[in-house]
Amino acid sequence: MARYHGVTSDTPDRFVIDSGKVYVGFTDLTDMGLCIGATRGGSTFTIEQEIREMPVDGAKGPVKGCDRITKVNAKMTLNMVEWSTYLIRMALPGAAKADYGTPTHDDITRALQIATTDYKDNIALVGEVSGSAQPIVCIISNALGSGNFELGMVDNDEAVCKLEVKAHFDPSDLDTEPWEILFPQDVELTTEGA
């Protein structure tokens, strides 16, 4: 009996592997920006989307061409094990730092105001593709921390900051979704119709 599967000799070259690296201020593949630290538990890039089927009289089901995107929410969840004042301020939009009065500590506080300068131009999650020397790069634009801030300290373990950041549409261009994916061309499918 024949076995059906999608495995080919190219399959091992098309895996996205390992934990990836997080950058703020990605410009291009030669200037990836500021690496914000090590992760534990990996990171995720998510595009939530709502696609509305527009029903029409006479059709017994969905009709090709009668779908439209009604909502897009691009976000990342970054499990950061490396802590910094920069990271804490990203997790708490609107937070400011000041000298605590000693040369040893920063004082981080917030006055419940989020400024446009609190949005990061972009955040990129860069990962390895098994068959390429080039990385996959997932980018969200106008990124702002959106989740809760939690610091749990446990005996014989290290604290992990679950940093949730959400992309935001640019108010001057509401038609362009605030995300992009750069994928290496050398591992693309070559079969016609793919």
CA 174 to chain centre: 20
Mean pLDDT check: name the lowest of 1-15, 57-71, 78-92. 1-15
Q: What is the pLDDT of residues 178-194, one digit of tens each?
A: 999 999 999 887 664 44
Higher pLDDT, 10 or 50: 50
Domain CATH for 44: 2.30.110
Q: Quick check: is 4 in a domain?
A: no
Domain assignment present for 159: yes
pLDDT value for 78: 97
Mean pLDDT along residues 109-113 = 92
Domain-embedded: residue 25: yes
- Considering the domain boundaries, does residue 192 fall inside one? no
pLDDT at 86: 95
Residue 4: strand pairing partners: none
Q: Round to whole Å and give the CA distance between 85 and 128.
A: 28
Examine residue 2 and state whether it is found in any structural domain, yes or no.
no
Within a domain: 3: no
Q: Is residue 193 part of a domain?
A: no
Q: What is the mean pLDDT of residues 83-101?
A: 94
Q: 146 exposed, middle or buried (CB, 10 Å; 0-12, 13-18, 19+)?
A: middle
Cβ contact 139:123 at 8 Å: yes
Domain holding 65, by residue range, is: 11-187
Split into its structural domains, the chain has a count of: 1
Q: 10 Å Cβ neighbour count for 7?
A: 8
Token pair, residue 101, equals: 């009065």
Q: What rounded mean pLDDT belongs to the chain?
A: 94
Residue 194: what pLDDT? 47
From 124, 144, 134, 145, select the one nearest 45 (Cα to Cα).
124
Summarised one tens digit per residue, pLDDT across range 41-68 is 999 999 999 999 999 999 999 999 999 9
pTM of the model: 0.91
Whether 194 is in a domain gets the answer no
At residue 14, does pLDDT exceed 60?
Answer: yes
pLDDT for the residue numbered 191: 61
